[in-house]
Structure 1
Amino acid sequence: MRTEVVGAGGARIGVRVEGNEAAPAIVFVHGWAQSAKAWDRQFADPELRRRFRMVALDLRGHGASDVPAGGYDDPETWAGDLAAVLGLAGEPAVVVGWSYGGLVIADYLRVRGTAGLAGIVLVGAITEIGRGRAGGRVGPAMRGALPDALSADLDVALPALTGLARGMAARELPGPTAQSLLGASLAVPPSVRGALFRREVDSAEVLAAVDVPTLVLHGTEDAVVDVTAGEYAAGKIPGCATRWWEGVGHLPFVEAASEFDATLLRFAGERATGA
């Protein structure tokens, strides 16, 4: 089912909802220049669907959401959008942030703390952004794509975004999957792709204040977000658990979907039972 909520500043935020309506929620937050479709394999997992209400938003400027002119550099904006989705999902919820989605979660924490959160899962995620920020360190695939991936000139942006899509996995992706990733990136206006990078964010104190169970998952071969960004977040968050996937890139929920789903089931199940 597709629906929408009203986020910060009145922006309509597209939301995908499936699974068990009476169950605790898992809220999925995708990465830069992607969409809720990134979580297709999780939404198709029968056990996840049976045990949880599955909710995935399209970030503002992405997918089916509105494309406001501004707000992309404001933590209050991202916190307001995520809060609106959590209100639809039902609180407390486990929130899963992939790539830039980790920074969106950090913005929520910065503004609202852990209110409404049962647990946090960071997947190949950044939690900071800006030159020299350890929690935002990127890998060669992202460095190679910038700044051309932000260009409004298709002849410039297309090769960069194609290379980034190819560089997301440690091994070659099936053609339809790679094209879906590329298509999602091209569907995001260049102005939005650029706006998400025009930020300077330090999250050390925010991460240190997290008081709900947190799990950091990262592929050791991630060429988009360097594994040290995951290590940084894990080192700041009190009691944080970690899982490093050998030979996996930026898409553990695709490259190692069965293991990822089993790990998420266990983590979210423990939060649902209060373990």
Structure 2
Amino acid sequence: MTTPDGTQLAVHETGPHGAPAVVLLHGWAAAATAWPEQISDELRVLAVDLRGHGESDVPSGGYDDPDAWAGDVSAVLDHVGAPAVLVGWSYGGLVITDYLRRHGTRGVAGVVLVGAITEIGRGRSGGHIGPAMRAALPDALSDDPSRAVPALLDLTVSMTADPAPGADVQRALATSLRVPPSVRAALFRRDVASADVLERVDVPALLVHGTKDAVVDPKATDYAAGLIPGAEVSWYADTGHMPFVERADQFRADLVTFVHRCATTASRIES
């Protein structure tokens, strides 16, 4: 689908058209393929390749522009045609705050943040990163493969608390390397505070974080939870940065329950 600035986004859609809708927004240097192929057969799931990632266009700009990110999400929500639950993993949480900053909760039934940041920049509490990400920077942003490849490999291995199968790690590494170095770097050239945005969230919110996340520090979720009114927090024990992979059954059940609760809440408000 086409965003307001003309960027073509690849969106992978599954599930019944009339079911409650979920929009999945992946993290930095990842793609929609990071999510399990089957989140739920009772939800309408739209997994987005963010601009510059996966099968989507790689425009020359927009990566440090909140309006561009808000426009991207808006295009997907307009396609859905009904209030949807936004699910942001890692950097995807920041993309959600970009949308909320510009449009509020228009078209949003609920928000799920998964090991997510909601801010970025030196000293931003909502952008606490873990030791694995700190170790990867700045080499992971370099256009020198002798620096970038080892850094991205180490980061990919650190995504899960327990070692992932070698083939899975290699596929994820290939996905990261597909994102141009210029895009990987541009995503970090931001200084964004979001306290006022989080305080205005007026739809249900679920925050999920693994207790052994080495990529995004759990402090980032503590921060968001302290600001979003009525936020529900679910800590996944002995889990790293990918709860939807490491604890797939638990995540699926939690997400389906939350989405149906959002749908019920929306119906009650409309009536």
Q: 1:268 aligns with which of 245, 254, 259?
A: 259
Q: 2:246 aligns with which of 232, 237, 255?
A: 255
Write the letter of the residue equivalent to 2:38: A
Give 1:134's aligned residue: 125
Give 1:37's aligned residue: 33
* Correspondence 1:94-133 to 2 at 5 A: 94-133=85-124
Write the letter of the residue equivalent to 1:33: A
What TM-score, normalized by structure 1, do the two folds share?
0.95
Give 2:173's aligned residue: 182
Q: Identity of counterpart residues, as a percentage?
A: 58
1:89 Cα deviation from its structure 2 partner:
2.1
Hey, what's the Cα distance between the residues in 1 that align with 2:264 and 2:207? 20
Hey, what's the Cα distance between the residues in 1 that align with 2:159 and 2:106? 32
1:150-201 Cα shifts (integer Å, max 9, x gaps):
0111111000000000011111011122112111100000000000000000
Runs of 4+ in 1 over 6 A off after TM superposition: none
Hey, what's the Cα distance between the residues in 2 that align with 1:198 and 1:170? 28
Q: Which moved more, 1:196-205 or 1:179-188?
A: 179-188
Hey, what's the Cα distance between the residues in 1 that align with 2:224 and 2:261? 21
1:270 Cα deviation from its structure 2 partner:
1.1
Give 1:10's aligned residue: 6
SS in 1 for 2:119: coil
Give 1:222's aligned residue: 213
Q: Is the 8 A contact 1:20 1:52 kept in 2?
A: yes
Hey, what's the Cα distance between the residues in 2 that align with 1:269 and 1:196? 33
Write the letter of the residue equivalent to 1:110: R
Hey, what's the Cα distance between the residues in 1 that align with 2:119 and 2:66? 12
Aligned length: 266
Give 2:80's aligned residue: 89
Q: List alignment gaps of at least 5 residues for structure 2.
A: none
Q: 1:210 aligns with which of 192, 201, 210?
A: 201
SS in 1 for 2:151: helix
1:48-77 Cα shifts (integer Å, max 9, x gaps):
22x211101100000111111111111100
1:251 Cα deviation from its structure 2 partner:
0.4
Quick check: 1:22 aligned with 2:13?
no
Hey, what's the Cα distance between the residues in 2 that align with 1:179 and 1:206? 37
Q: Is the 8 A contact 1:25 1:90 kept in 2?
A: no
Q: Is the 8 A contact 1:25 1:94 kept in 2?
A: yes
1:90 Cα deviation from its structure 2 partner:
2.7
Hey, what's the Cα distance between the residues in 2 that align with 1:61 and 1:77? 12
Hey, what's the Cα distance between the residues in 1 that align with 2:92 and 2:82? 19
Q: Is the 8 A contact 1:135 1:229 kept in 2?
A: yes
The two structures, once aligned, show a CA RMSD in angstroms of 0.9
Write the letter of the residue equivalent to 1:59: L
Q: List alignment gaps of at least 5 residues for structure 1.
A: none
SS in 2 for 1:10: coil
Q: Which moved more, 1:129-138 or 1:172-181?
A: 172-181
Quick check: 1:69 aligned with 2:60?
yes
Hey, what's the Cα distance between the residues in 1 that align with 2:19 and 2:145? 44
